[in-house]
Chains A and B, each alone.
Chain A
């Protein structure tokens, strides 16, 4: 749908009021995201949610950073995955279905307020990232951890977040809130 500065492979469902605006970096604005996402949204510049996001991505993250030195602002909205609202995955996660992945990009941030919920893996995953942060985000009912920092990430600041009702009971999935 977009050029090299926009989403990579994102599919948008128009009927569900999806707005994607590519605004130039010159005015300090960036991509706006809302609605239903069918394939991974790859961020290339500062991005914000302008409405709730329903994720139908399987086999990968809903949103992934595709460039360093950028910020995703949840802007008070909610990202929702495909897990059950009451039972999540009943303890058995699907490790690829992540809400937000830093995707080995450095110096990236996720700013709340906002909610990341019901993903079948981690809500937010810092993967291969040096220098990053997440602030004021609520993660809930995700099937692995609410926020995870993987072994190849460092200098990550996790501040003032709320992480509730996350976890898995399957073998090999040691996880929880953060």
Chain B
């Protein structure tokens, strides 16, 4: 996502992205121009990275998402140089807001945290 004042809710992202290569891939990405967006109650499971907040992204709310298994365990072992994490916050500290996400691995965000608030479900399910 690169725009502003958008909302992502109840989406499921899985198996996206390459573990190696010059471009960072993800399940959900907030790129440099992403501003004032809401990322709520989504799942990001088994991607090269789960949620990545890139430098320059600001004032975005990332809350109550389930972000686990990024990358899958076989990728972690077979491509050890690939990196990958559930949440990777590359933005300046304090410029984006994380609340109640369920994740296991993170860089510059609160993990591991098993947050009971994170229960993404599609409406009606």
Interface centre among A126, A146, A178 (most CB of B within 10 A): A178
Report how far A134 CA is from B18 CA in the complex, Å: 25
Residues of A within 8 A of B2 (CB): 148-151, 153
Q: Given A149-B1, A154-B5, A167-B25, is A177 in contact with B123 using a C-beta cutoff of 8 Å?
A: no
B33 CB, nearest partner CB in chain A, Å? 4
- Determine the residue in chain A with the shortest Cβ distance to B7: A157
A149 partner residues in chain B, CB cutoff 8 A: 1-3, 6
Determine whether the beta carbon of B9 is less than 8 Å from that of A169. no
Q: Residues of B at under 8 Å CB distance from A?
A: 1-18, 20-29, 31, 33, 44, 47-49, 52, 54, 122-123
Main secondary structure of the interface of A (DSSP, over half): loop
* Contact call A166/B16, Cβ cutoff below 8 A: yes
Which A residues from 120 to 178 make CB contacts under 8 A with B?
Answer: 126, 145-146, 148-178
Tell me the complex Cα distance, A171–B21, Å. Answer: 7
- A176 contacts B28, CB within 8 Å? yes
Least CB distance from A175 to B in Å reads 6
Bound together, the chains give a CA A175 to CA B8 distance in angstroms of 16
Q: Is the CB of A167 within 8 A of B17?
A: yes
B21 shortest CB reach to chain A, Å: 3
Cα of A89 to Cα of B17 in the assembled complex, Å = 12
- Residues in A with CB closer than 8 Å to B49 are 176
Partner of A174, one of B7, B15, B25, B47: B25
